[in-house]
Amino acid sequence: MKIAIASDHAAIDLKAELAQWLRDEGHDVADLGPATADRVDYPDYGYKLATAIASGDAERGIALCGSGIGISIAVNRNPACRAALVGEPLSAALSREHNDANVLAMGARLTGVDMAKACVTAFLTTEFGGGRHAGRVEKLSHPAL
């Protein structure tokens, strides 16, 4: 699977750990930055990730910042993106099953590496349930429906 990952400076270590782990698992990972721990603004990287999802350059995205809140808000500014902020695997799975989330957001200051990997695994292995959820998900990208 083609996965884009981006963070701010607060989550650069978690980003590097997850990116390498995903590559080891056989995924094609696009690291959208940043490349160093120098201070950056999370909206810039959230927008980069959203663009990769909206353009089809990536099937799924992982957005990381200190809390996960700011970068998830930035990603969700793009109508093609459905970013879900999670801290445990059940929420990650439900974000896919019920909401067809295409971006997983997490906070590096709140979520350890092992829990983050469990969330990513649930996110990548859960399919969208469709059915009664499909119309609701359609309204997320087209509010006038």
Binding site listing for D-ribulose 5-phosphate: 8-9, 66-70, 99, 109, 132, 136
Numbered residues of the known binding site: 8-9, 66-70, 99, 109, 132, 136
Cross-sheet strand order for the sheet of 2-7: 28-31, 2-7, 60-65, 103-107, 83-85
Residue 109 in 3-state DSSP?
A: coil
Residues labelled catalytic: 65, 98
Q: What is the DSSP string of 21-51?
A: HHHHTT-EEEE-S-SSSS---HHHHHHHHHH
